[in-house]
Structure formats: structure tokens, C-alpha cells
Structure 1
Amino acid sequence: MKAAGPTVAWRELDEALAAHPARFLGFGSVRLGRPSAETAAAVAHDVIARGLHGIGELTPPPDQAALVEPVLQAACDYAGLPVVVHGYAPTTAADVRTLAGLAARYPCTPVS
């Protein structure tokens, strides 16, 4: 059986949000590791244009939390679009320091 692709997941998210608009706020995923311009375009297309309320849940690999930076940059352009980052197993001390530094560098973007 073939795994469901992102289009199926987006459709399911859209259907759930439409069915329960007072109950759920949608967050869109953005692939890590893209150049800043591609990340900004993905945020504009996959999050903002779809009427979603934030970005997440991002899961950078261990010791690669810096991959989140282009997402935080792009989110900052949209009046504090929140970003949810989920630690990978293991989340290293370096990752925590990197994420703390990035959160301080982009105070316009709430990071959770």
C-alpha cells in the first residue's frame, strides 16, 4: 500500500478545520533544509494562502536546529506567525542553545 502524500494530509487538515472552525486552529508544515527564498515561498503558499494560523510541528534532526532559522525569518514577515518546534530524540544541549538563540534573534516570531 502506498503511503499518503502531503496533498492527502492537507486535504484532511482542511476538512477537519472546515468541520470544526471554532475548535481547531490549523498549523502548516514547512520542509526544513530549503534556502530562505524557497522557505518564504512555502510559508506564503502552504500556510498564509491557506488561512492557517502558524507553522509546525518542525522536527530538526539532532544537532541541526539551525535548519529552523529560515522558517523563523519567513514567519517574522507575517506579524508574529507562531512556530512550533518539536525536539528530536535526542534533543541535544547544542540544539536547545541554538533554538534559544534563534528565538532571541527573531523576537517577532513566537517559538514553542
Structure 2
Amino acid sequence: MNKDDILKDFDTLAEAKRKGAVNLKLCLGFALVVVVLVLAWGLVVNFTALDKVVVVERSGEYLKTHAEDSEALFLALVKKTCAEATGYANSFDRLNLKKIRRTPLFMSIRTI
């Protein structure tokens, strides 16, 4: 038995582990590059799509559009939702409540 042959057999395992680690790093690097490119593409589409939106009336005339301020839109939607919820909660009276309790939706909420 030759000492070099025995050491070569052990070296193949270490070399396979190194190749596996290199292959894993290459795969993860490729996946990271793909994810970054997809996010960059989505960002470009997002910024360029707002300029290309065309709204046409039924008569065929183009209507001018512009992007809304998202924070102001969000605040307006929250205020509207709160106003509707308050109006709904204040619409109950003693006679109306008995009728509403008979419906399945109110009965399922009441049992929870």
C-alpha cells in the first residue's frame, strides 16, 4: 500500500466538500442577483407606468390624470371609514336592535 494513494482517497472527500461549498455560494449569489434584478425591474416599471396611464371618457376624450398623494389619500380613506363606522354604530335604537340581532351575522358575532 502506498501512502499517497491512501491520502488521495481522504483528499477526495475534502475536495468534494470544498466543491459543494463553492457550488452553494455560486447558487446563492446567482439567486441574489436575480432577486435584485427583479426588484430593480419592478421599480422601473412602477415609476414609468404612472406616466403612461391614459383615461378615456365614454365619448372618446382623454381625461387628465395625476398621481395622488398617498398619505393624503390614506388619511381621507381612514376618515371616511371612521365616519361610516360611527354612523353605523349610532344608527341602532332599542327597536331596531332586536330585529338586527335575529340576523345570522349579528348572532355569529354575538356568540364569539
TM range (shorter): under 0.3
The structure whose Rg is larger is 2
More helix as a share of residues: 2
Higher relative contact order (CA 8 A, sep 6+): 1
TM-score, normalised to structure 1, is 0.20
More strand as a share of residues: 1
